[in-house]
Amino acid sequence: MSLQIRKLSIRVSTSSGLFGVDIPFAMGLCILHADNTSGKSTCLQSIVFALGLEGMLGPQRNIPLPPVVTDRLEYEGKSYKVIESEVLLEISNASKTITVRRQIKGNQDINLITVWEDAILSHPNTSCVPRDYFVRLSGAASRERGFHYFLARFVGWELPKVANYEDVETPLYMETLFPFLFVEQKRGWSNLRNRFPSHLKIKDLSRRAFEFLFAMDVQGIATQKILLNQQSTILKSRWSNQVVECNRLAASINATISNLPSQPIPIWPPTIQPMVLVSRNNDWISIGQEIFDSEEHLIFLEAQEIPIISEVSELVNEQLQLREEERINIEMQLRLKFEEIENCRVNFGAIQSRISSLKEELSKHKDLQTLSKLGSVREIQVNSGTCPTCHQHISDSLISSQEISNPMTIDQNVEFINEQLKIFKAMGQSEVQTLEHRTRQLNVIKSRAVEIREEIRSLKTTLTSSNNSPSYFAIEERIRLKDKIRHIKSVREQIDILLGSFEPLSDEWNEVQTKLHNLPKGILPEEDISKIRELEHIFQQQLQAYGFNSLSINNIKISEYSYFPEHDGFELSFGVSASDYIRVIWAYLLGLIEVSRNHETNHLGLLILDEPRQQSAREASIEAFLRRASNSLKYNQQVIVATSESREVLDAHLRSIPHTLHRFDGRIIAPIYF
């Protein structure tokens, strides 16, 4: 990843001729020196404008350049109307050089950028076909003809997707990254964290930008955790749906499935395998036993001839009487079971109400506990039966005060309420289980009630049929039994298929949980922590060299959460003098470049600073900073500084420092003569 500014060219057409400037930039420390209001900031802002990055300065759509290139140019006491203006910028990625052009004022849309894939400013006679791109429009960072899509690939960046405030994924725009690489004069030196374009509505913008610039794995790991947790949620849902379907099928034959895990497990089948149990005579038997017994009974019935009604009329009457008695008994059981279930629901509601009351009471006592720790005694005295004014005992009972035991303390009350909550939550869970058990019993009774009514109907039909007719009850009994066996077998087959499908779910669950377990346990991976610690060391080292004295330097750390300097857990801007905070910005931004020399990062090796000597920073401090910045030459990096420092002081600073100096004695944008 690399971006180097090779040459800047500004052209301004006026009614009196052409104005402009050409500034070549070398590697290492480059100084742009001129008096105030001479046009230094215009040059640096033109670099930003040429790259379509003015969105980093704010949401406004107007051109962020002064009137000298947009409206009226002042030169040697005369004023010239600007007719057209443009900026051309030659940039390199260390292996290839391109030239970009963007019109500032004129007939061309300012959202259009022209690119020559060659150094046409340095070599004007080069023949190269230009290509147009768009910028500051939707898709500029994601579509092929978007300039920032092109520029990101040119510098070696693959911009990630991040979440915005609407939880929709959006690109991490280049405008969010350049506040680490460019500091403009007016607002750039006020605060490290407030320089990021919040109008882009990206969540945790400064953190996401830092994580990308430092090529940190934390975002990738966080994304992995989110994806794996999402997969876990999906697997839980699929597992739960299959459990529900198994239970639905089992309920259709008055059965239940024992030992079926309600939550995913990593090994299938479990040690105690699930078993389908069918209700019979207030007991539970295996579905296999139920099928076997039913088939045996069917064989027994089919081995006998179907009797005629005259032969079994007395027996049918007896059976009808027994079924009627059983029907009455079943209906009574149904009423009782309905009452039991209703009582369960009432009890469960009462328990939930009690839990809500306890939670409210616990919240109040915790508030009192907090007030007590802070030294408050007012409400505590009232609650303890003591008047807060005269401190006499307040009796709220007819019982003698001597017979009243000492009340519990607030801490004891909190502990007691917590224990009560545990008890009532356990009672609630028990009540839910009881309700489920009784509901299953109710379904069994309902099913038996239906069977009895059908048997009564067939018995009555038998008694009202001709004496020579075969027994309707005997025929229907065989048919009913065959249908029952067929239905139970079908249900068992479907349940077996569903139980078999838990195995691949279990394998997926095991794989997902293993991946989650193998992710780093801390907030940051070791390599990311190493980068932060090196930045912290370099940062402290620079503060020492720059004469920082507002706070103890050893107590200033780089936060592993915000990635910005902190002192005792608070943002460093508090308690720091204005001049020292300028030193903080120098040390931090230059530190980012220096870390990239020893670690793999996405830093472009470029830093542009407009008037770094703010708030009357001491001359010794700025000299130390420039000396440190000049080391960028050894690593093929670039630090561009615009300054209006006095000529004598600047020359003294730069006397033994490797640098390139561009000095302008008057207006930087001046007439161009051919």
Stretch 261-281: mean pLDDT? 90
Distance CA 148, CA 133 (A): 9
**Among the ranges given (410-424, 433-447, 484-498), the one the predictor scored with the smallest mean pLDDT:** 433-447
And the tokens for 256?
Answer: 């239940």
229 in any annotated domain: no
Same-domain status, 179 and 316? no
| 239 phi and psi angles, rounded to 5 deg | -65, -45
Last residue of a domain, which of 464, 494, 516?
A: 516
Residues 425 and 480 grouped into a single domain: yes
Give residue for tokens 């249908």: 483
**CA dist., res. 478 & res. 302, Å (int):** 8
Nearest residue to 355 (alpha-carbon basis) of 412, 282, 302, 432: 432
Tell me if 8 sits within 8 A of 25, measured CB to CB. Answer: yes
């093929």: which residue's tokens? Answer: 636
Query: What is the band of 674 on the pLDDT scale with cuts at 50, 70, 90?
Result: low
Query: Does 227 reside within a domain?
Result: no
Residue 230: inside a domain, yes or no?
A: no
- 3-class secondary-structure state, position 277: strand
pTM of the model: 0.65
Residue 498 sits in the same domain as residue 642: no
Q: What is the pLDDT of residue 389?
A: 42
| Rounded Cα distance, 652 and 670, in Å | 28
Q: Is residue 221 part of a domain?
A: no
Q: Is residue 225 part of a domain?
A: no
For residues 498 and 579, membership in a common domain is answered with: no
Q: Is the pLDDT of residue 85 over 90?
A: yes
Does the pLDDT value for residue 388 go beyond 50?
A: no
291 is a domain residue: yes
Residues 282 and 315 in one domain: yes
| 653/122 Cα distance (integer angstroms) | 30
**Based on the domain organization, do 66 and 204 belong to the same domain?**
yes
Residues 509 and 549 placed together within one structural domain of the fold: no
500-521 pLDDT tens trace: 999 999 999 999 999 988 887 6
Helix (H, G, I), strand (E, B) or coil at 171: strand
- Domain hosting 119: range is 4-216+524-671
Domain C-terminal end among 516, 545, 574: 516
For residue 658, is it within any domain? yes
Q: How far is CA 669 from CA 12, 77, 664, in A?
A: 8, 14, 10
Quick check: 42 and 669 in contact, CB under 8 A?
Answer: yes
| Per-residue pLDDT band at 382 (split at 50, 70, 90) | very low
Same domain flag for 553 and 504: no
Where is the domain boundary, 516, 545, 576?
Answer: 516
Q: Could you give the number of structural domains in the chain?
A: 2
Q: Is the peptide bond before 64 cis (omega within 30 degrees of 0)?
A: no
Same-domain check for residues 509 and 588: no
201 and 247 fall within a common domain: no
Cα-flanking dihedrals φ and ψ of residue 356, to 5°? Answer: -60, -45
Residue 26, CA atoms < 13 Å, CB-side half-sphere = 12
Q: Answer whether 498's CB lies under 8 Å from 242's CB.
A: yes
Could you tell me if residue 231 is inside a domain?
A: no
Residue 101 shares a structural domain with residue 119: yes
* 101-132 residue pLDDT tens: 999 999 999 999 999 999 999 998 888 899 99
Per-residue model confidence as pLDDT tens digits over 459-483: 888 777 777 788 877 888 888 889 9
Tokens 């300028």 correspond to 582
**Whole-Å CA distances, 561 to 210, 522, 576, 581:** 11, 11, 21, 21
Give the CATH number, domain containing residue 623.
Answer: 3.40.50.300
Relative to beta strand 606-610, strand 638-643 is parallel
- Percent of the chain having pLDDT more than 70? 93
Q: What is the pLDDT of residues 24-68, one digit of tens each?
A: 999 999 999 999 889 999 999 999 999 999 999 888 878 889 999
Task: Please tell me whether residues 330 and 472 are part of one structural domain.
Answer: yes
User: 23, 82 in Cβ contact below 8 A?
Assistant: no
